[in-house]
Amino acid sequence: MIRRPPRSTHCISSAASDVYKRQLKVRESKAVGVFVDKLSKHPVSSYEDIANKMEEGNKNRTIGETLMNQTSSRAHTIITVEFKQIDLSGSAKSEKFSMINLVDLAGSEKAGQTGATGDRLKEGCAINKSLTVLGQVISTLADKACGKAKKEVVPYRDSVLTRILQNALGGNSKTIMICALSPSSTNYEETLSTLRYAERAKKIENKAVVNESPQERMIRELKEENEKLRKMLMGMSGTGVRDDPETKRKMEDLQEELNANMSAMQEMQKTWQEKVEEAKKKAEAEGPIARFDKTKPYICNLHEDLQLNGKIVHNIADNQIHVGRKDGNPKPEIVLGGIGIKNNHAVFRRAENGDVYLAPFDTAAAENIFVNGNEIKEAVKLCHNDRVIFGSNVVFLFQYPGREAESKTPPEQEIDWEMAQKEKMNITEKVQKELQEMLQRKRNEESEKKIKEVEAKYMNEKKKTEGEMNKLKYEYEKKLKEFQEKEVTSTAKVVQLEDTKKELEDLKSKLTDMQQAIEQNELEMKLEIENEARLEERRKRNLAEKQQTLLSLGHKIDEAQMLAKDLGRNIRFEPRIITRYPESLHMHPVQVLKECTFDLVIHVVNGEDGTSYMWTEDKFTDRLYMMKDMYNTFVQFGELTLPEKEYDPFWDENEPIFIGMGFYMLKGLAYMIDNPVDICLIGNLYEHTGGKLYMNVVPTDAEGSREIAQEQMPESPQDLINTQMDLLVEIKEIKDLPETCCRDVFCEYKFYLDDNKYETGAVRGRSKNAVFNYAKQHTVAVVTENFLNYLLNDYLCVKVYGYIDTVDIGRPTVLKRAESEKMSQKMKAIQKKSDGGCCIF
């Protein structure tokens, strides 16, 4: 009889086949493996049924008569018995599968001894070939087991026999080979070959394991471990020392481990249907937000990465849904995090007619809620496809199925995260656009003015030249007429006529030269105008690139501003496109303007220390990451002790702001004449800052006296060469400075080839009119040709700097969440009183 464990059943089937005789094909599939196509399987229920099927297969076996045996096997016979054990434990079911291959190999034959001919000879050849391949397979597997021929491929596919028995030979199996030997001396070679066969087969090593799934194996191991734990608990409870603390602790640990194993085993034994039902019940228990209903209004997220759009969805199904952080009171149904998100941030309300309204929870949160780019102060009605931004970068798209017609967004408009952020910056962009248009108009006017000046200059020269040409032409024609009317009467008259003719030729040559000069001047004027147009176009492209970068940087600036507000820091971040002028301080003003470039910086106004400084884009990005780390610590613990200034991401060294520069013409000094002037300052983007610089450069003698003897005055600039020259630079004052950067003003200049920068003392305090009364003597030991050219053609450039006029309210040392709101309100009040802005346009 077949024994089986309790609560288990067996499914047994058998099959028999003759290799090489039956016209059945051997196939292979990923699910079944190697199998014989169309081979019939017969279910059996006892040993007797198996024996009957084996007998039936034996009767159908192919045999034939040869000289050596009347019932010689003409093919290898394989009888396969499949066992499937099904274990029923509660509602769970596990299966184990095994297969027994009973193989009767036909013996090798020699054609001379068997006398085989015709079909018998072909059968013998097929048997010998399969046995040879079987020997090669066994030899290769034995070598691999001994550590040899590791890379050699086992030739299973060279024979049908080895193909069918692949798993039995080198797979997950146990193999027993019974060798039949002949005692006759005539079969000595066959007997020796068979023994070698068996010796090789003995070296094959297979590691057979039970055919069960990893999950079933884990369940079985958990059951065995649970049984051991139960026995240990029973043994410890029977010792009578349960009151011992150490024993009690061990028993608790064993019981805890047993319970954990039971829970894990129960979870593994659950069917798919049971897991699906549990998931549905869990979703229902989580509340209405978890059950997403596309027929009701909802919000879905918009992300920078388009693949993450719509991954977070919240239904607006209830009459009132709160938005905020997880520790908000009342507890929000929609939990958010990030910069600018308050504990209680906003409320969605649904009216009786189905309209959905969004309102800020309080005035503090109103600054960080935007609908379609507009900041909201009170409840607003939401329409289909409206964009909602909470904080700095939490963006949602409002959807209202059935009310698509109410949408204010054009159907062709592509809605994404970038579009929503650009809407938020819409007001700033408008202001910047108006400012840029104003600057562009002024620059165009300046460019047109320059072109008109050039045209007027050349037109005047052209008129003057044409007047002289007409005068010469008139004289030429007059003399030519007189020459033609005169008669040649004497030698003296002939000489006179020759002189007149020569004068006419000279006049004609002068006319030709003048005509060529006019054409050359027209060509130069055209080239200068074209060059100015190219420079202006290059400046426009450079400015447009910086403006585009400014738009992409706007989101980060908003984040930094929100971080400063939430942390209660009185710090403002203002993006600026500034003009970078050449470093040389003695260039021609036209050359300076032509070589200037535009740069994007972040102007930081620190109201805590009364300082300001400029950050590049890279430096600002690095500081922003540090600010976020500080903010996360503040949100996590509710308070934050500020680090020293050197480690504070909001702080930096105070830097002066460039106000403008003026150019002093040096040409008069080549004639030892001073030229006291008031110079209009050129500021950012070629704008006149409104300030005027009063200065002079005075030639003096060696003792510094302004009175120079008449004999020392040069008749021409060339007389100064190889002489000593003393110059006194006087910077008296600056008037009408911008109000926002008129604190601690100072000037800076360089003289000729001197690498040193000379500075006036800073006028301390706030003053639109800064008086310096600065004077500095410069001595040129030997005037050279280069220095003389410098005086005749170049200018002395004076740059003016100042500091932003801010209110110093002091730097906090410890930030608390409750106090940060008060600090934010204080900052708003201070900013309303201050002028705001910056001297950088």
**Which of 377, 362, 408, 370 lies closest to 391 in space, CA to CA?**
370
- Distance of alpha carbon 618 from its chain centroid, rounded? 15
Helix (H) or strand (E) holding 798: strand 795-803
Phi, psi of 639, deg, nearest 5: -150, 165
Phi, psi of 583, deg, nearest 5: -70, -25
Contact between 337 and 391 (Cβ < 8 Å): no
Going by the DSSP 8-state scheme, the letter that residue 656 receives in this structure is: P
**Which of 17, 8, 19, 65 lies closest to 40 in space, CA to CA?**
17
Q: What is the DSSP code string of 600-613?
A: EEEEEEETTTTEEE
Q: Which amino acid is at 217?
A: R
Q: Which long-range contacts (CB under 8 A, 24 or more apart) does 818-822 make?
A: 819/568, 820/566, 820/567, 820/568, 821/364, 821/568, 822/568
Positive or negative torsion for Cα 350, 351, 354, 359:
negative
**Which of 385, 415, 418 lies closest to 403 in space, CA to CA?**
385
pTM value is 0.47
pLDDT value at residue 432 = 55
| Whole-number Å distance between alpha carbons of 127 and 473 | 128
Q: Which two tokens stand for residue 59?
A: 């009767």
SS3 helix, strand, coil % of the chain, rounded to 5? Answer: 45, 25, 30
pLDDT value at residue 551 = 62
Partners of 36 in the beta sheet?
A: 26
Q: How far is CA 665 from CA 104, 135, 592, 823, in A?
A: 118, 108, 14, 52
Q: How far is CA 602 from CA 230, 423, 554, 566, 616, in A?
A: 71, 21, 10, 20, 6
| Whole-number Å distance between alpha carbons of 773 and 770 | 10
Helix (H) or strand (E) holding 429: helix 426-485
SS3 513: helix
Contact between 373 and 387 (Cβ < 8 Å): yes
Partners of 314 in the beta sheet?
A: 299
Contact between 737 and 774 (Cβ < 8 Å): no
Partners of 13 in the beta sheet?
A: 43, 82
Pairing assessment for the beta strands 758-759 and 814-816 based on DSSP bridges: unpaired
Instruction: Split the chain (841 residues) into runs of 10 and give each run's mean pLDDT.
Output: 48 62 68 72 82 80 71 79 75 72 79 70 81 86 80 84 81 81 83 85 78 66 76 68 68 75 69 68 55 82 87 86 88 88 90 91 86 88 92 90 89 86 67 57 63 65 67 68 57 62 68 68 64 66 66 78 85 81 63 71 84 87 89 80 84 85 88 88 60 91 77 83 92 86 88 88 88 93 90 88 67 51 45 37 27
- Distance of alpha carbon 554 from its chain centroid, rounded? 17
CA end-to-end span of the chain, whole Å? Answer: 102
Contact between 840 and 576 (Cβ < 8 Å): yes
Q: Please, what is the Cα angle at 477 between 475 and 481, to 5 degrees?
A: 115
Partners of 43 in the beta sheet?
A: 13
Q: Which amino acid is at 191?
A: T
Contact between 588 and 795 (Cβ < 8 Å): yes
- Distance of alpha carbon 263 from its chain centroid, rounded? 44
| Whole-number Å distance between alpha carbons of 624 and 411 | 37
With tokens 């002949």, the residue in question is 182
pLDDT value at residue 90 = 59
Q: Please, what is the Cα angle at 57 between 56 and 59, to 5 degrees?
A: 65
Q: What is the DSSP code string of 128-176?
A: HHHHHHHHHHHHHHHHHHTT--TTPPP-GGG-HHHHHTHHHHHSS----
Q: How far is CA 497 from CA 109, 154, 477, 502, 778, in A?
A: 144, 125, 15, 9, 65
Residue partners of 377: CB distance under 8 A and separation at least 6: 360, 363, 366
Q: What is the pLDDT of residues 773-795, one digit of tens each?
A: 999 999 999 999 999 988 988 88
Q: Which two tokens stand for residue 608?
A: 């805590």
Helix (H) or strand (E) holding 51: helix 47-59
Residue partners of 343: CB distance under 8 A and separation at least 6: 324, 325, 327, 328, 329
Going by the DSSP 8-state scheme, the letter that residue 294 receives in this structure is: T
Q: What is the pLDDT of residues 717-771, one digit of tens each?
A: 888 999 999 999 999 999 888 877 788 899 999 888 888 889 999 998 888 899 9
Burial of 599 (0-12, 13-18, 19+ CB in 10 A): middle
Pairing assessment for the beta strands 743-749 and 763-766 based on DSSP bridges: antiparallel
Contact between 137 and 156 (Cβ < 8 Å): yes
**Which of 338, 260, 793 lies closest to 555 in space, CA to CA?**
338
| Length of the chain as a residue count | 841
| Whole-number Å distance between alpha carbons of 506 and 513 | 11
Q: Is 554 left (phi over 0), alpha (psi -120 to 50) or beta?
A: alpha
Q: Which amino acid is at 683?
A: G
SS3 447: helix
| Whole-number Å distance between alpha carbons of 146 and 141 | 9
**Which of 759, 740, 717 lies closest to 803 in space, CA to CA?**
740
